[in-house]
Amino acid sequence: MNIVILDGYTLNPGDLSWSGLEALGRCTIYDRTPADLTAERAQGAEVVLTNKVALREAELAQLPQLKYIGVLATGYDVVDVAAAGRRGVVVTNIPTYGTRSVAQMTFALLLELTQHVGHHAATVRQGRWSAGSDFCYWDHPLIELDGLSMGIIGFGRIGRAVAAIAPAFGMRVLAHDTGAAAEPMTDVRMVDLPRLLKSSDVVSLHCPLTPQNKGMINAANLAMMKPGAFLINTARGPLVNEPDLAAALNEGRIAGAALDVLVVEPPPPDNPLLTAKNCIITPHIAWATLAARQRLLDIAIDNLRAYLEGRPSNAVTG
């Protein structure tokens, strides 16, 4: 079994072991693969694992020996699953590895928006407290979460994990989900999107990207939010219309935003959010705790093993 990993570095920069995969076949591991080398590097492989390297019709047509694609992520839009299916190639993903880590990051971002820990810690290191006349200082309003409303858009595994944490801070929880079968949770009020946007002090995105919700956080929906509200996105970058959000922040129409995902990653230097007021951006790390990455790798190995045993698991086509 010839296994090729096209972009292993993001998942495993050296703190995990590939031994579980190596036990299943001969592994060739590339840290990164540019698009023009994808077909060349995957040539002759029966199994290809990828995180963000795209496998479209053009690449698949050059890989007649390919039988299995393991996507090292939950989203599998990097693979043309229809083209893979026509060729009898099984595609799998990793649906449930990072729920707790992403929920944790959601509150890390919210606490940074409301407490400004990073800013104040940096000023102390710069000597400002030592040189000050007062026993304390703060440069931004410090906001208590108790009594505020958190609106959660997308009420799947991660949205529900966030909803379970929010009451520990004394927050009320509203949720909106397009899935009619979203199960209720104690102390969570399901509402329509306009009501959520108008009523929430914090709006947190946890929905998958679809053609229907692409750019949903746009000028019209931002205008429904409270002037003191915060937006958090740990879901998918294209859910947000970035110029519209930058304008809302710069004009003070909402109080702030914290984003772990952007439309283009890495972002071009002219992305308007990079210079927007009260905007925190982190480099797509909500998923990347050591524990979550180990789970991801373990599930990827289990997926491949199940396929080899004739019982594909987490298959999205095939």
pTM check: above 0.85? yes
- Min mean pLDDT across 37-41, 185-189, 279-283 is at 185-189
CA dihedral 204, 206, 210, 216 (to 10 degrees): 0
Q: Give the C-alpha distances (Å, rounded to integers) separating 85 from 5, 88, 92.
A: 20, 5, 12
Predicted local distance difference test score (pLDDT) of residue 182: 61
Beta strand spans in 78-192 (E): 90-92, 149-153, 172-176, 188-190
Q: Give the C-alpha distances (Å, rounded to integers) separating 220 from 158, 216, 261, 270, 297.
A: 26, 9, 21, 23, 41
- Min mean pLDDT across 17-26, 57-66, 162-171, 182-191 is at 182-191
pLDDT-derived band at 244 (thresholds 50, 70, 90) equals very high
| pLDDT greater than 90 at residue 317 | no
Mean per-residue pLDDT, 263-277: 97
Q: Domain 2-97+290-317: give its CATH code.
A: 3.40.50.720
User: Which fold does the domain 99-281 belong to in CATH?
Assistant: Rossmann fold (3.40.50)
- Domain positions in the chain are 2-97+290-317, 99-281
The catalytic position among 172, 195, 284, 305 is 284
| pLDDT greater than 80 at residue 29 | yes
Give yes or no for a contact between 89 and 60, defined as CB atoms under 8 angstroms apart.
Answer: yes
| pLDDT tens, position by position, 70-113 | 999 998 989 999 999 999 999 999 988 999 999 999 999 999 99
The catalytic position among 120, 236, 293, 295 is 236
Active site residue 236: yes
Mean per-residue pLDDT, 106-127: 97
Active site residue 284: yes
| pLDDT tens, position by position, 160-216 | 999 999 999 999 999 999 775 567 788 899 999 999 999 999 999 999 888 999 999
Residue type, 150: M
Mean per-residue pLDDT, 231-248: 98
Residue 245's H or E segment, with its range, is helix 242-250
Predicted local distance difference test score (pLDDT) of residue 318: 47
Predicted local distance difference test score (pLDDT) of residue 180: 55
| pLDDT tens, position by position, 129-173 | 999 999 999 999 999 999 999 999 999 999 999 999 999 999 999
Average pLDDT, the chain: 96
Domains 2-97+290-317 and 99-281 alike in fold: yes
Q: Which residues contact 68 (CB under 8 A, 6 or more apart)?
A: 46, 47, 48, 89, 90, 91, 92, 304, 307
Give yes or no for a contact between 64 and 41, defined as CB atoms under 8 angstroms apart.
Answer: no
